[in-house]
Amino acid sequence: MKNEYLLLTPGPLSTTETVREAMLKDWCTWDDDYNKEIVEVIRAKLVALATTSSQYSCVLMQGSGTASVEATIGSAISQEGKLLVVDNGAYGARIAQIAQYLNIPCHVVSPGETSQPNLNEVEAALASDPAISHVAIVHCETTTGMLNPIKPVAALAKQYNKTVILDAMSSFGGIPMDIADLGIDFMISSANKCIQGVPGFGFVIAKRSELEKCQGQARSLSLDLYDQWHCMEVNQGKWRFTSPTHTVRAFYQALIELEQEGGIEARHQRYRTNQTTLVQGMRSLGFEPLLSDELHSPIITSFYSPTHSDYQFKEFYERLKQQGFVIYPGKVSNADCFRIGNIGDVYPEDIALLIVAVEKAMYWNVQ
């Protein structure tokens, strides 16, 4: 089964036929064939992709990526704790919103959607508010495509002895990093982003010592990160409640395919080439990216919408879809944009074809 169109979206994204085929079998949620040979292998492979340190472990969690973020925020921060969150886009804002729902005190650093956090402001907050116990930041802010300066922010947090939570949802698997070197305590990502699996679960890669501290702290039963981890540890890969077996099997296949591609380094190169090919091609047609090149991730790119009065996103979208490409609406609040993802089973040749399709879809330019 071939797809009718290529998803140029930040997840769910275009997957390979072989990843989709891996779902054509039923699995028993507690059988060894599933737990030991799939779930445990996935957990070990994910830790190895995240760090060379042996201090980390992995928990898989049902739900979309947000469920794993909520499980982490709701389990890692104690009743006395307080969160500092960097919010320069919808996903940073979502972390603050989760804290609000869970009645967790929260200090928000908001540089605006097109700027990076001011390190002096982060440090001032850490220095003046000893109640802050945790610092959360998004790696690639998918709202704009911005890559946040996680290294200096995590270093500051460590200097003040805080626990660091990283939302690397849209970057993990597509951008090389070692979370131990960076000083990250909890890193969150999900199945349907750069590992190129299908949606259904997220995962948290965390220091064992930090996971231990989560015991008894969760504010939700189904999102109890410690309990889920403990169950997987003690029962070798068993999930507490029904696991998304088909999705997990597809994810296993996606991990094999990441290895076959040459690992994260090779995937990163492909995404970068996609992104630079895209920006170059779009510029040649008169489009400008929202962010300057140095702020950009290779994950997704926001472009200003044409200012022509005949332009409507929906019409542009439909014309591209008819030609086999699905793009993404904008999410930036103070600028009219649309977004094009560079991740998934997408190659520079596809991007070259997209540019031809965009030119044909520019109906507002036709007299």
Ligand X SMILES: *Cc1c(COP(=O)(O)O)cnc(C)c1O
Q: Residue 297 interacts with ligand X (CB under 6 A)?
A: no
Closer residue to ligand X, CB minimum distance, 191 or 218: 191
Q: Residue 223 interacts with ligand X (CB under 6 A)?
A: no
Closer residue to ligand X, CB minimum distance, 10 or 174: 10
Q: How far is the CB of 192 from ligand X (least distance, A)?
A: 7
Closer residue to ligand X, CB minimum distance, 167 or 210: 167
Q: Residue 74 interacts with ligand X (CB under 6 A)?
A: no
Closer residue to ligand X, CB minimum distance, 137 or 279: 137
Parallel/antiparallel/unpaired status of strands 163-167 and 186-190: parallel
Q: Residue 64 interacts with ligand X (CB under 6 A)?
A: yes
Q: Residue 87 interacts with ligand X (CB under 6 A)?
A: no
Q: How far is the CB of 264 from ligand X (least distance, A)?
A: 17
Q: Residue 138 interacts with ligand X (CB under 6 A)?
A: yes
Q: Residue 113 interacts with ligand X (CB under 6 A)?
A: no
Q: Is 43 annotated as a binding residue?
A: no
Q: How far is the CB of 193 from ligand X (least distance, A)?
A: 6
Q: How far is the CB of 235 from ligand X (least distance, A)?
A: 26
Residue whose C-beta lies closest to ligand X: 65
Residue of the chain from 66, 72, 163, 301 that contacts ligand X (CB under 6 A): 66
Q: Residue 10 interacts with ligand X (CB under 6 A)?
A: yes
Residues 151-210 that bind ligand X (CB under 6 A): 167, 169-170, 190
The burial class, CB within 10 Å (0-12 / 13-18 / 19+), for 235 is middle
- Positions touching ligand X (CB under 6 A) are 10-11, 64-66, 91, 138, 142, 167, 169-170, 190
Annotated binding-site ranges for substrate: 339
